Amino acid sequence: MWLGHVGALAVVVGVVVCWIYRWRNPRCDGKLPPGSMGLPLLGETLQFFTPNTSHDISPFVKERMKKYGPIFRTSLVGRPVIVSTDPDLNYFVFQQEGHLFQSWYPDTFTEIFGQQNVGSLHGFMYKYLKNMVLNLFGPVSLQKMLPEVENTACRRLQQWSCQDMIEVKEETANMIFHLTAKKLISYDSESSSENLRKSFISFIRGLISFPLDIPGTAYHDCLQGRKKAMRKLKNLLQERRTMPKKQQNDFFDYVLEELQKEGTILTEAIALDLMFVLLFASFETTSLALTLAMKFLSDNPMALKRLTEEHEAIIRKREDADSALTWKEYKSMTFTFQVINETVRLANIVPGIFRKALRQIQFKGYTIPAGWAVMVCPPAVHLNPAKYEDPLTFNPWRWEGMEVHVASKQFMAFGGGMRFCVGTDFTKVQMAVFLHCLVTRYRWQAIKGGNTVRTPGLQFPDGFHIQIWEKELQKGKIHVHLDGQT
Ligand code: HEM
Ligand SMILES: *[C@@H]1O[C@H](CO)[C@@H](O)[C@H](O)[C@H]1NC(C)=O
Ligand SMILES: *[C@@H]1O[C@H](CO)[C@@H](O)[C@H](O)[C@H]1NC(C)=O
């Protein structure tokens, strides 16, 4: 009896030891990159999500780069992952999209963004959706949108200048949400009683957090937020269905039209998931970038001065100083684009780009087993002192005369290859036009906050509070285009 128990125990211990051994030494017919798989099941997930206040490469990645080199293995949220900080492997991964690698995000992401979001769609469906999105946010569309972007920025700035203090992250997110929601679903966030944006707020906090779905966790709130937002989007689409005559020429119309076509591959569920991703991707990322840009400019009077000169020159060159911004003027904002590049380089808003290996892959003597995830790590590229001198310093001038083809391997804030961010141009327009209105007519002072934390996603835990005034000199000379929209 007693011996039987010992025997059973020995078997259990044996199985567990074997299992732990397998966990730490995954099967692979070849040479895995060095690294540790961490604790069974948990892997190194907790270390990965540890917050840090520095703009530098996260300690998780930095320590392992030092120990193992530019390519190493780990385990995150229950998945074996190869982390790449190697420019050649990054490039290879981007180029092989759809062949050797496929877009893949952890299950938690799929949970949050819906089963059918653009990020995880493949092949034909993917191309189809991408074209839909490019139609909305491509250069042709943006040229038409320019006056609206300018009006919105000017109007918001005017409103902020009447307040004692504003929180930049929240306010810029509101501004951009207003614009995209109008564009996508003709949703007027200023006059609508339902607050769609609000249901996105709890959502954001939990987005890049530890995936534990029990009440009280950020992740749980995040899923609840998604549910709420999806319900509202569904209602809005339903509403539109019942009054199909009132064409708004927005994304909803496009979707409804598509849904009615015979043999269409679009479903309502896909359309709603996509809407959710787009609304979220547009305002959260761009508002983080704008807030960080304002923080950097507050701390760098030289850069602010140069930026202001560029925009004042644009106005000086006009026949009528009050006329609206043209596409040609927008395209001429050289220093502004340097500021934007430098901001997104340091922002590293997307700290990891995930793919899945479709087949076993050999690279630089290492084997990546089929089915493993690969995480391309943009911060390691953007903060590499060999490519960017003094990498933690905000220095827009470093972009002067930088060769584009060199830059593409060394700059992946918007991803790369086929999956390059479709919102890149939209983001640049938003940021440049906002900065134009800001520096030509206003000055501001930081009051409190502005500290950043990475978990590893960029966050402003206590916001960035500023006071903003209309510039005395400019008063009366340039007036704000109000267009009677208020
Ligand atoms: C500062 C702002 C932004 C940053 C840093 C950013 C970053 C990125 C990155 C790194 C990717 C590639 C993801 C991957 O390869 O898996 C991506 C994809 C994407 N972005 Fe953005 N983005 C920004 C703004 C926007 C905006 C404004 C929109 C919407 C209008 C948007 C919509 C998308 C979509 C739909 C994809 C998926 C494209 C695909 O899978 O082919 N992004 N973004
Ligand atoms: C952040 O990481 C650095 C090492 O890279 C470490 O010295 C510091 O203590 C960490 N903690 C915080 C709170 O930033
Ligand atoms: C910003 O970065 C992109 C991508 O590398 C590059 O093509 C562009 O020329 C850069 N812009 C400026 C103004 O340096």
| Ligand minimally distant from the alpha carbon of residue 119 | 1
Tell me if the pTM is above 0.85: yes
Q: What tens digit of pLDDT does each residue of 299-310 get? A: 999 999 999 999
Q: What tens digit of pLDDT does each residue of 379-435 get? A: 999 999 998 999 999 999 999 987 766 557 889 999 988 888 888 999 999 999 999
Q: Is the pLDDT of residue 485 over 50?
A: no
**Biggest alpha carbon–alpha carbon distance for the chain:** 100
Compute CA distances 434 → 21, 221, 442, 443, whole Å. 55, 32, 11, 13
Q: What tens digit of pLDDT does each residue of 243-259 get? A: 766 666 777 887 788 88
Q: What is the pLDDT of residue 245?
A: 61
Contact between 352 and 456 (Cβ < 8 Å): yes
Ligand 1 centroid, distance to 421 Cα (angstroms)? 4
Contact between 434 and 441 (Cβ < 8 Å): no
Query: For ligand 2, what atom is nearest to the CA of residue 53?
Result: 14
Q: What tens digit of pLDDT does each residue of 343-393 get? A: 999 999 989 998 999 999 999 999 999 999 999 999 999 999 998 999 999
Ligand 2 centroid, distance to 188 Cα (angstroms)? 43
Q: What is the pLDDT of residue 2?
A: 64
Question: Counting every residue, how long is the chain?
Answer: 486
Q: What is the pLDDT of residue 481?
A: 47
Q: Which of 5, 226, 196 is nearest to 109 (CA)?
A: 226
Among 152-156, 205-209, 477-481, name the most confident range: 152-156
Ligand 3 centroid, distance to 404 Cα (angstroms)? 6
| Ligand minimally distant from the alpha carbon of residue 52 | 2
Q: Is the pLDDT of residue 126 over 70?
A: no
Average pLDDT over residues 209-221: 75
Q: What is the pLDDT of residue 16?
A: 83
Lining ligand 3 with CB less than 6 A are: 334, 337-338, 341, 399, 402, 404, 407-408, 411
Compute CA distances 267 → 9, 272, 368, whole Å. 53, 9, 36
Q: Which of 299, 328, 322 is nearest to 474 (CA)?
A: 322
Degrees, nearest 5: CA angle 65-67-73: 65
Ligand 2 centroid, distance to 220 Cα (angstroms)? 27
Q: What tens digit of pLDDT does each residue of 17-49 get? A: 888 888 888 888 889 999 999 988 888 988 998
The Cα–Cα gap between 157 and 171 comes to 10
Average pLDDT, the chain: 85
Q: What is the pLDDT of residue 324?
A: 94
Q: Where are the alpha helices (DSSP H) in 186-217?
A: 198-205
Provide the token pair at 419.
Answer: 């999956």
Average pLDDT over residues 99-116: 70
Report the residue among 90, 333, 339, 341 best suited for mutation to probe ligand 3: largest number of ligand atoms under 8 A from its CB: 341
